[in-house]
Amino acid sequence: MITAGVDIGSKTVKVVIVKDGKILSKVIMPGGRKKDEVADQAFNEALEKANVKREDVLKIVSTGAGKKKALYAKDDISEVGADAKGVLFYFPNVRTVIDVGAEEGRGVKCDATGKVLDFVINEKCGAGAGSFTEAMSRALEVKLEDMGQMSLTSHGAVPMNAQCAVFAESEVISLIHKKIPKEDIIKAVHDAIAARITSMIRTIGVEQDVCMVGGLSLNVGFVKSMKDALGVDLLIPEDPEFIGALGAALAAQG
């Protein structure tokens, strides 16, 4: 049985096509303004990659902040539900999922079947998600993809006063004037986001195994900060950005 899942996030659109429990293809595209058009494009590309025709796909389920924009989806599921299902595909012993995306940070507790037992979301503050690292990469003039490695080379701790990503931009400029090395500043930013996410997760409790997904889990520096803050090991699946779409595709399998 062939199904598809489409995850329309605030920054990117992801599509995963699954057949009988195997992933046939994955596509990710920048969301842009016209999310419904991009959702279409991404789906067509995924079909091509999977060598599958549209009519062979039995069911399409959507998820993500823009889930209603996937006009071709029959159904939609919550992002927390998608997270749980997607993660269990890789790691059947996971009971806590942490998903840090561009504009949202989430914590999900689930059981062995992927049923969501509890969850917590931060969608109000940009400093608890990827938008913070993006703002910092602009302020520091460092490529976003280099931030992870750079922060691992940091030796010192730099206290950051600003809790807001907008204020942090100005604070970073004065830190640079004080000749604080960029890698120390980046580590401070990762630590700040990790601290925020960790205190959020603690409100629902941390039960192992713990898995981290979402775009920010590709940042090795942030992952280290999260491990230090949580005090437990973190499992990260391959292609962690696709977990939502995968979870939706698996939900479509019924």
Partner 1 sequence: MAKEYWRWTEYRWTSPDVKLNGQQYITCGIDVGSVSTQAVIMLDGKLFAYSSMRTGSSSPESSQKALTWALEGTGLAQKDVQYIVGTGYGRVNMPFAHKTVTEIACHGRGANFIYGPTVKTVLDMGGQDCKAIRIDEKGAVKNFLMNDKCAAGTGRGMEVFADLVCVPIEEVGQLSLTVEKEPPPVSNTCVIFAKSEASALLEEGWEVNKVLAAYCSAMAHRVVSLLQRVGVEKEFAITGGISKNPGVVKRIERELGLEALHPNIDAQIAGAIGAALFGKAFLAKGGK
List helix spans (H) across the chain: 35-50, 79-90, 130-140, 147-152, 165-177, 182-202, 220-230, 243-253
Nearer residue to partner 1 within complex by CB, 4 or 194:
194
Among the residue ranges 78-86, 93-101, 121-129, 228-236, the one whose residues contact partner 1 (CB under 8 A)? 121-129
124 binds partner 1 (CB under 8 A): yes
| 163 sits near partner 1 (criterion: CB under 8 A) | yes
100 is an interface residue for partner 1 by CB under 8 A: no
Which one of residues 125, 152, 218, 234 is an interface residue with partner 1 (CB under 8 A)? 125
- Phi-psi sector, 179: left (phi>0), alpha (psi -120 to 50), beta: left
Q: Which stretch binds partner 1 (CB under 8 A): 19-27, 44-52, 131-139, 227-235?
A: 131-139
- Is residue 188 a contact partner of residue 155, using CB atoms and an 8 Å limit? no
The one segment of 21-29, 165-173, 208-216, 226-234 that binds partner 1 by CB under 8 A: 165-173
DSSP string, 19-60: ETTEEEEEEEEE--S-HHHHHHHHHHHHHHHHT--GGG--EE
Site for partner 1, rule CB under 8 A: 10, 33, 103, 124-126, 131-132, 135, 163-167, 170, 173-174, 177
